[in-house]
Structure 1
């Protein structure tokens, strides 16, 4: 197979070709994930999780009814980490 056109989209990743290389962006994907899981009203932070934070098990009152929702959120974030957001890798791995 031969392709003569420069790709702009591949696997939910937007490719921007520059003189020095290719930039990869997943802005549309991350925006859909944020809206899908109702995080669009959350406050953004400039930094990831602090290295010294110790996560604790949830109390019975804090536990979610459907753990597959949590797993789906983490899986969606893992895809972004693998594709274009290695800066989130530590936080997502901790979660």
Structure 2
């Protein structure tokens, strides 16, 4: 039985390594949609939506299924478990952002 938070933290950090790509893709879509397209950009952002669905959808299902199975065996409360899982998933992306500048 998973009694500690280390199992959730470790699994989500490992899920965050391939998760760098979907996280970056979601950031890219949000940044371009909010700021508007470049004046010289000929490619519409709608073409990125199928790409995002193909990449983000399976990753989100994998992340959810792994965390749901770990959550069932954990004694952490849902109020503690889900923020810990989400933050741990973002750790590899944050490390890339910090060390790339």
Higher relative contact order (CA 8 A, sep 6+): 2
Q: Which has the higher helix share?
A: 2
